Amino acid sequence: MSIAVICEFNPFHNGHKYLLNKIKELSDEPIIAVMSGSFTQRGEVAITDKWSRAQTALKNGADLVLELPAVYSVASACRFAFGGVSVAKSFSCVKHLAFGCETDDVKVLAQAAKASHDKRAGELLAVKMKGGDYYPRALESAVREVFGTQTAEVFASPNNTLAVEYINQIIGTDIKPMPILRVGAEHDSDKSNGCYASASYIRSRLRKQSAADELMPSVPELITYPEKLEQAYLYKLRSMSVDDIRRLPEINEGLENRIFSAVISSSSVGEIIDKVKTKRYTHARIRRILSCALLGISEADQKLDVDFVRVLGFTKRGSQILGNCRLKVVTSVAKAIREGAINTELLKKDIFATDVFALALKDNMPCSMDYTEKIVIV
C-alpha cells in the first residue's frame, strides 16, 4: 500500500517535514507526493524549480514525486483537487490520501464536504452573495444555518478548503482520507512561530535575501521574482480580446468585460487585480485567471482528464511502486511527445509553464529545462 499527498512545497519547509514525518508515524508505507510544478494554486510562479523541491521532499520523507499538470495547478480548489486525486488514484497501491488541515476529525470534515454541495446551503449562499457578502464569509454563514456551527467552522480556515475538496474527490474510490493536524504558524501569517512559518512568509524572506535556514530543511539556490514577469503579463493581456478572456477558466457573469476594461485602463498587473477584485472575485481567483492567460490555459483545458503521470524523482522504495500505475508513466518528455500515446497538449502546457518560470529567475534561463533536467534519484 501507499499514501498519497497532494502538495506544492512552495517551498518545502519544516511544516511539510512535520507532515511527512507524521504520516510515517501513522503508517510506514511509501509516500507519493503529487506536486505542483512551475506555477501554483495561488496563481503565482513557484518560488524555485520543481526538481529542487522534489529533491528536498525526497530527502525528508517522500518516496515518489509526481508533477501535478499545470492546468490543474493554476486552478480553483475543486479542480486542483480533481487533478491531484486523478493522479493519486491511478496507482492501485494508494489506499490513503493525507493532507494537513485545522481539524483531524474525519467525520466533521466529511460533513463539511457534504455541506459544500448541499442544495439548501447553495441557495442561501447565492442569496447572501447577491446581497454583497464576501464569499468565504457567506459560505460559512450559509453552512451554519443548515448544518450548524461545528460544520461551519471548517470553512472558517483557508487550510480546510482543499481538505474538503479532497474528500469530495475521493468519494466513490477505495482511497480513505488521512487528515493531519497542522502545527506552527497560521496560513499566510507574516511572522514565524519558532521553527515554523507560513510558506508565504518564507517566500518573502527568500526574495528579500533574508536568512530562513531555521524554517526549512534546505534553502533553494534558484529563487524567482514574480515582478520579472510583469511585462509578459501585460503584453499577453493587452493582446487578448473579450472573447479570448471569456475562454479562460473561472470566467462567468460577465467577468471577461470587467477584466478587459481593467487591462486597457491599467499600467500594472497589481492595478488590474485591484480594479477587478470584488467581494465575489478574490485576489487569488483573479491571479489564477491572469496566470492562465499568460500560460495559455483555457476552461476546456481544465476539463481534460489526466492520462499520464510525470515523474520528477524517487527513492529506491519509490521506484518500486511505479509499476502500480494504471496510466502511462512519463520519464522523458521528449519520448512522450514523440510517441504521442498521451494527451501531449497537457504535457506541453507543463513545458511552457517551466519556460515562463525561467524568465522569473534573477538571471533568465533558456527554454527546455523539462528536456534537460534529469529525474531526481535519492
Residues with Cβ within 8 Å of residue 138, at least 6 apart in sequence: 125, 128, 129
Residue 297's CB: how many other CB atoms inside 10 A? 27
- Grid coordinates representing 7 are 502538495
pLDDT of residue 164: 95
The span from the CA of 6 to the CA of 278, in Å, is: 29
- Separation of first and last alpha carbons in the chain: 21
Distances (CA, A) of 212 to 10, 14, 44, 60: 14, 11, 21, 17
The span from the CA of 255 to the CA of 252, in Å, is: 6
Distances (CA, A) of 237 to 107, 191, 267, 348, 371: 44, 34, 11, 21, 28
**Do residues 62 and 2 make contact, with C-beta atoms less than 8 angstroms apart?**
no
- The domain defined by 2-102+162-225+301-377 folds into Rossmann fold (3.40.50)
Residue whose entry in the numeric block shows the C-alpha cell 519556460 = 355
Q: Which of 161, 127, 159, 124 is nearest to 144 (CA)?
A: 124
List the alpha helices (DSSP H) in 265-343: 269-276, 283-295, 316-319, 333-339
pLDDT of residue 65: 98
The span from the CA of 220 to the CA of 271, in Å, is: 31
pLDDT of residue 188: 63
**Do residues 2 and 91 make contact, with C-beta atoms less than 8 angstroms apart?**
yes
pLDDT of residue 253: 87
Residues in the chain with pLDDT values less than 50: none
Q: What beta strand segments (E) does 186-275 contain?
A: none
Q: Do strands 176-181 and 308-314 pair parallel, antiparallel, or not at all (unpaired)?
A: unpaired
pLDDT of residue 146: 95
Output the CA angle 273-262-127, nearest 5 degrees. 70
Q: Which of 39, 34, 41, 61 is nearest to 49 (CA)?
A: 39
Q: Tens of pLDDT along 197-221?
A: 999 999 999 999 999 999 999 999 9
Q: What is the pTM of this model?
A: 0.95
Residue range(s) occupied by CATH 3.40.50.620 in the chain: 2-102+162-225+301-377
pLDDT of residue 107: 94
pLDDT of residue 185: 62
